Amino acid sequence: MKSYTKYLWFNTQKRRELIHITPVVEEAVKESGVKEGFCLVSAMHITAGVFVNDNESGLHQDIWEWLEKLAPYRRDYRHHLTGEDNGDAHLKSLLIHHEVILPITEGKLDLGPWQRIFYAEFDGQRRKRVIIKIIGE
Ligand code: ZN
């Protein structure tokens, strides 16, 4: 069995941002040499997420509005008693989830026709990481 690990670094200009990462994940799969296996893509933070969905700007706005409705930015989160102000970012991360596992078939990511991979930043403007871990043969 082969294994391959790669880290992606992000430092977003805005506090909240969506970044399309399918091309860099595809590149990592190529670098790994794995033909049949799995690719884990996981945010190494508790205020960010990784998800699979459509690369369509209207939908992205809908996702942000949905997240803001369920986990709005507020001042009165108990978490803020620690001196932080990112309570909403932790909750948004729980809604989106922090990782995805993708199949690799014949040396390529085996995604559905509209499936694309995104890094979701909920508390950025600092250096943050995503791990890509690929295993297989
Ligand atoms: Zn926090």
The ranges assigned to domains in the chain are 2-136
pLDDT at position 111? 98
Q: Which residues pair with residue 118 across a beta bridge?
A: 20, 51
Q: How far is the CA of 90 from the centre of ligand 1 (A)?
A: 6
pLDDT at position 78? 98
DSSP for the chain reads -EEEEEEEEE--SSSSEEEE-HHHHHHHHHHHT-SSEEEEEEESSSSEEEEEE---HHHHHHHHHHHHHHS---S--GGGGGT---HHHHHHHHHH-SEEEEEEETTEE---TT-EEEEEESS-SS-EEEEEEEEE-
Residue 104 confidence class, pLDDT cut points 50, 70, 90: very high
**pLDDT averaged over the chain?**
98
pLDDT at position 58? 98
Residue 2 confidence class, pLDDT cut points 50, 70, 90: very high
Residue 81 confidence class, pLDDT cut points 50, 70, 90: very high
Q: How far is the CA of 123 from the centre of ligand 1 (A)?
A: 9
CATH 3.40.50.10470 fits 2-136, yes or no: no
Q: How far is the CA of 120 from the centre of ligand 1 (A)?
A: 16
* Residue 51, CA distances (Å) to 33, 42, 63, 84, 97 in order: 24, 9, 11, 25, 7
- The pLDDT of 63-89, averaged and rounded, is 98
pLDDT at position 24? 98
Burial class for 28, CB neighbours closer than 10 Å (0-12, 13-18, 19+): buried
pLDDT at position 50? 98
Residue 96 confidence class, pLDDT cut points 50, 70, 90: very high
Q: How far is the CA of 3 from the centre of ligand 1 (A)?
A: 32
Summarised one tens digit per residue, pLDDT across range 40-57 is 999 999 999 999 999 999
